[in-house]
Amino acid sequence: MNTTEFEMKKVYSEASGAMSVVDSNIRMRMNEYGLFEESLIDDNSEISQTAVFVSPNLNKETNESEVAEKLYAGDSGISFDERIGYYHSTYVGHVLEGDYRNNASSGGMATWVFKELFDNNLIDYVIHVKKNSDSNSNQMFKYDISSSIKEIKEGAKTRYYPVEISEVMDKVKEQPGRYAIIGIPSFIYSVRLLAMTDPIFKERIKYTIGLVCGHQKSTKFSESMAFQVGIKPGDLKDIDFRHKLLDRPASSYAVKMTGLIDGEMKTVVKPKSELYGQNWGWGFFKPTASDFTDDVFNETADLVVGDAWLPEYTTDSQGNNIVIVRNKEIDNLIKKAMKSQLIKMDVVDKEIIFKSQASHYRHTHDELAYRLHVKDKEKEWRPSKRVSANPNLSKTRQEIQDLRKIISDQSHILYQEAVIRNDFNYFVKQMTQHTSRYTALYKTINRRDRFKRFLKMKPHEIFSKLMKRLKK
């Protein structure tokens, strides 16, 4: 691929750093919007075929379904669902052992499974995301390699923050051993593609743990939350994106931020409901690539963990995971721990897993068809996906999709202007022009849905609903 073509297409790259691992002419750099992007050392040199192959949105030779089939279809007893992929088991629950759940974003399964693999001598190293120990760097979190339980535990918690794998994967090449890695869907898929191009990765990456991922965020997401509590851009030193509030449902978590306020180092805990920009449907600070993946359930990962956003589980403020297990060895570890009560897992139907991510699936998978159609109509290049372009979407949903794109694009630009003006309210005011239209649309949709439900109700149901209202 020539460089001009690459420069035009790279906005669709997940920016995992995989291309940089296989092509010495590519390195990762943070752009002015706080997003990683591939940058060329020599502008005249071609992009290697291997680099194109390991890039999920540039690769045209294979896809997640084919790779998952090669990995799992041959396992005896494995099941398959078109939406969630291959699975041996599906669970919802949390860790009981030690302080894993307490220190985690959700039920603590991600960190606990790493610990189990390590304790059972199945791996030597864990590749995960930790606080950057280099205090001179303005990159707050990065992929790192851990080789003890203490280090593994330090990597707990969700970081809604851009990270990339080029540095750690270079270390994997240098340092023999058995590794487990965690990542969002496009990253795990790029690790699988790397393993298809290089036998060292195939041999050393023994297990992959996948996160469910609504979308990625730029560094400006954390910066903008800190800005709101008086920590100026550049002055944020630490952030916990998922601080549990023990008197509230798991979904009503807070954000804990430490930084300079009027020259003094302070820590502020703010419920996310009191921070602007927390509506994930709006998609503030979202990179383009997040809207061009059709892998919702991290289909090429051995184990998938996400948040159990289900009414029967969110009431528990400590949080629960949804869990999809595609690897038999990991499933055996989970089953053994369930018996010895180290973890509490409910065996659930795959529909429960799907239900917990239903709106994510609709946006990321189903309505991708419309986003692809828009690109085709505009005669713009776009990646080829498993979902086909299709204009058949209701007018309201089309408008929601169009607005989401505007909101997300504008958030990058208008936030930059707000920083220049040193005025966060400028950002709020400008963004509200777009988000208020979005909110109004959702109100219409909700009203319409309520009316449709009403039309389906039986007379006795209407009567009992009326009685309940009267009692209030």
Only one of the segments 16-24, 78-86, 108-116, 462-470 lies at the binding site for ligand FAD (rule: CB under 6 A); that segment is: 108-116
Could you tell me the sign of the dihedral formed by the alpha carbons of 197, 199, 200, 206, in that order? positive
Residue 35 interacts with ligand FAD (CB under 6 A)? no
Residue 292 interacts with ligand FAD (CB under 6 A)? no
Residue 75 Cβ vs ligand FAD, minimum distance, rounded to whole Å: 24
Q: Would you say 296 and 283 are in contact if contact means Cβ atoms under 8 Å apart? A: no
Q: Would you say 217 and 34 are in contact if contact means Cβ atoms under 8 Å apart? A: no
Crossing angle of helices 109-119 and 328-339, rounded to 10°: 100
Q: Rounded distance, CA 181 to CA 164, Å?
A: 12
Q: Rounded distance, CA 215 to CA 197, Å?
A: 27
Q: Would you say 188 and 300 are in contact if contact means Cβ atoms under 8 Å apart? A: yes
Q: Rounded distance, CA 264 to CA 235, Å?
A: 10
Q: Please give the span between the terminal C-alpha atoms of the chain, in angstroms, as a whole number.
A: 66
List phi, psi (to 5°) of 306: -150, -175
Only one of the segments 41-49, 78-86, 171-179, 305-313 lies at the binding site for ligand FAD (rule: CB under 6 A); that segment is: 305-313
| DSSP class of 469 | H
Size of the site for ligand FAD (CB under 6 A): 31
Residue 160 interacts with ligand FAD (CB under 6 A)? yes
Tokens of 120: 């059972």
Closest CB to ligand FAD among residues 66, 351:
351
Closest CB to ligand FAD among residues 171, 232:
171
Closest CB to ligand FAD among residues 104, 172:
104
Residue 69 Cβ vs ligand FAD, minimum distance, rounded to whole Å: 24
Residue 70 Cβ vs ligand FAD, minimum distance, rounded to whole Å: 24
Residue 158 interacts with ligand FAD (CB under 6 A)? yes
Residue 110 interacts with ligand FAD (CB under 6 A)? yes
Contacting ligand FAD within 177-236 (CB under 6 A): 182-184, 211-214, 216
Among 10, 360, 365, 371, binds ligand FAD (CB under 6 A): 360
Distances, alpha carbon 195 to alpha carbons 169, 281, 384, 458, in Å = 11, 34, 22, 57
Residue 440 Cβ vs ligand FAD, minimum distance, rounded to whole Å: 24
Q: Would you say 307 and 313 are in contact if contact means Cβ atoms under 8 Å apart? A: no
Closest CB to ligand FAD among residues 227, 253:
253
Closest CB to ligand FAD among residues 17, 183:
183
**3-state DSSP assignment of residue 139:** coil
Closest CB to ligand FAD among residues 228, 290:
290
Only one of the segments 191-199, 303-311, 447-455, 458-466 lies at the binding site for ligand FAD (rule: CB under 6 A); that segment is: 303-311
Q: Length of the chain, please? A: 472
Residue 18 interacts with ligand FAD (CB under 6 A)? no
State which H helix or E strand residue 324 sits in.
strand 321-325
Closest CB to ligand FAD among residues 6, 285:
285
Residue 111 interacts with ligand FAD (CB under 6 A)? yes
Residue 159 interacts with ligand FAD (CB under 6 A)? yes
Among 18, 21, 129, 140, binds ligand FAD (CB under 6 A): 129
Residue 381 Cβ vs ligand FAD, minimum distance, rounded to whole Å: 26
Q: Rounded distance, CA 180 to CA 206, Å?
A: 6
Half-sphere exposure of 259 toward its Cβ, with a 13 Å CA cutoff? 25
Residue 295 Cβ vs ligand FAD, minimum distance, rounded to whole Å: 13
Could you tell me the sign of the dihedral formed by the alpha carbons of 60, 63, 66, 67, in that order? positive
Given the rule CB under 6 A, which residues bind ligand FAD? 104-111, 128-129, 155-161, 163, 182-184, 211-214, 216, 305-307, 321, 360
